[in-house]
Chain A
């Protein structure tokens, strides 16, 4: 295929996708920067205000509290997902039937929509008729049903964390299983002959050999958490008093509830910078892998 004219032929094949991405990703990206410099309204009459929106974000207490809350959520959730995901992967990386069935079952919620799973959990958490509350009472874990999404923002946060752990723990697990299965059996057998116990092998050999995939999954997972929206929109609705508003939620509120599109753009850019920093680390890590 590598004849002289083939470079135009090749370009013709990538052109449709390139055009699509130019129009629906790159152009909006440029537009986003442009809008962030304006007092932008749907009806026209956009006023250029330079970095006014950025100054406003700097002075906006909800911007900071939303960012802090999103970080807090990510900081609590990520270690839970990684540790549980890795333990589940150790448990289910075998080939026995029951173990594979368990792996498949843990993974099921990953393919369900976040909207559906949030509507499912908000019902399970419901104070009067929620069956998760009833189960916890029946198991004597709590004396009476909790009002998960009420006046206590911390309880609301943990309610969301429980539901999201259920929903996405299988994602990390499945990638960790692949990581564990890629370790040559001889390495582990060698350690076993040397008398290393199971947990010694896990700590000294398996986890260190999976170091890179653990780091990658941690980053993917943390980036996902930094973009949380549905679970809070549906389960906590930002209550109490905007304490459970995330960064994306605050963008949504400004752009599509208040229709402050310029300010929404500014908030978007600030979040984008944080996320792109995260993905750059992720890419740098994979590049080093391919050079090795």
Chain B
């Protein structure tokens, strides 16, 4: 019996009970947040607090929808920054990964180190000079500016992943295409890109989660109310209701901010985990 038979060679009821208890503990905060967000207006602030809503209501979501400039704008800010980050990471990392994996470049490993040195430097320490630079370039309070910061955070890891993806493509495929007279750009597009789709999906997934969830950069670069991304808007809204917090509305916002992450993760779990593995055991 292998280690994987742990469940079988121990009291399997005990294992099942531990599993159920652990799932209950892990889900408790999320379920409570969801249920509280569905309480009728004001009920979340009532003492003593109840676990369950007296009745289901979307009034907290409606309040959140109408908060300040309106939820659609904040969602638009978050989504557009995320999609620009995905675009930047996928494009730059695919080109660089292809170049690194398939060509002999003088001092290649030096360039590679330069490209991935960002994995060593914590971006939090670069925000001060970036702030100076962006105020000079007029990139503060712009979605493009924040997308640049998020791309800079995520690009080294993306390049790392894409180099490995391209290196794994069998050489026979490439040679056949070369005999057919493809140039390198055609080769990349027709032969390599279809073969490295899993790598591209991983890069896009990590870029999305990084950008959607990123906090301190957005806090610093987006200080105009209409430019807030979702996490920043939520923190601002905490004190936004006449100085006191409406926890029901806030939990509605928390749930909205979580909604894109969890399904994306569940759908793309295998890409996420394999990307994580390659990143950690690099």
Contact A131 B51 (CB under 8 A): yes
Is B41's CB within 8 Å of the partner chain A?
A: no
Question: Could you say which of A105, A128, A166, A180 contacts B3, with CB atoms under 8 Å apart?
Answer: A180
- In the complex, the answer to whether A101 meets B106 with C-beta atoms within 8 Å is no
- Cα A268 to Cα B128 in complex, Å, equals 8
Report the Cα distance A25→B153, complex, angstroms.
Answer: 9
**In contact, A99 and B15 (Cβ under 8 angstroms):** yes
Tell me, yes or no, whether A67 is within 8 Å of chain B by CB: no
A14:B19 contact, CB within 8 angstroms: no
* Contact flags A7-29 to B (C-beta < 8 A → 1, else 0): 10111111011101110111111
Within 8 A of A (CB), among B19-38: 19-20, 22-23, 25-30, 32-33, 36
* Cβ distance B158 to chain A, nearest Cβ, rounded Å: 9
- Chain B proximity of A151: nearest CB distance (Å): 20
| Inter-chain contacts of A35 with B (CB < 8 A) | 128-129, 132
A114 in the interface (beta carbon within 8 A): yes
Q: Are A227 and B124 in contact (CB under 8 A)?
A: yes
**B interface secondary structure, majority:** helix
A181 contacts partner chain B, Cβ-Cβ < 8 Å:
yes
Chain B residues within an 8 Å CB radius of A208: none
Tell me if B242 counts as interface (CB < 8 A to partner A): no
Docked-complex contact B16 and A98, CB < 8 angstroms? yes
Alpha-carbon distance A45/B129, docked complex (angstroms): 16
Q: Could you tell me how many residues of chain A have their Cβ less than 8 Å away from some Cβ of chain B?
A: 108
1/0 per residue, CB under 8 A from B, across A75-100: the answer is: 00000000000001011111110110
Residues of A within 8 A of B130 (CB): 24, 28
Interface of A is mostly: helix
Candidates B5, B265, B282; contact of A286 at CB < 8 Å = B282
Q: Could you say which of B10, B92, B215, B232 contacts A114, with CB atoms under 8 Å apart?
A: B215
Interface membership of chain B positions 186-218, coded 1 if the CB is closer than 8 angstroms to chain A and 0 otherwise: 010000000000000000000001001111100
A92 to B3 Cα, complex, angstroms? 11
**B16:A113 contact, CB within 8 angstroms:** no
Chain A residue with the shortest CB-CB distance to B151: A20
User: Is B75 engaged at the interface, CB distance under 8 Å to the other chain?
Assistant: no
Q: List 15 A-B contacts (CB under 8 A).
A: A6-B184, A7-B105, A13-B103, A20-B151, A42-B135, A115-B213, A116-B257, A123-B250, A134-B51, A188-B2, A255-B131, A256-B220, A265-B129, A271-B125, A289-B281
By a beta-carbon cutoff of 8 Å, the part of chain A in contact with chain B is 1-2, 6-7, 9-14, 16-18, 20-22, 24-29, 31-32, 35, 40, 42, 88, 90-96, 98-99, 101-102, 104-109, 111-117, 119-121, 123-124, 126, 128-132, 134-135, 166, 171, 174-175, 178, 180-181, 183, 185, 188-189, 192, 198, 201, 206, 213, 216-217, 220, 223, 227, 229-230, 234, 248, 251-252, 255-256, 261, 264-265, 268-269, 271-272, 275-276, 279-280, 283, 286, 289
Q: Which residues of B contact A (CB under 8 A)?
A: 1-7, 9-10, 15-16, 18-20, 22-23, 25-30, 32-33, 36, 44-49, 51, 88, 91-93, 95-96, 98-100, 102-106, 108, 111, 114-115, 117-122, 124-133, 135, 148-149, 151-152, 155-156, 159, 174, 178, 184, 187, 209, 212-216, 219-220, 231-232, 234-235, 238, 247, 250-251, 253-254, 257-258, 261-262, 264-266, 269, 272-273, 276-277, 280-282
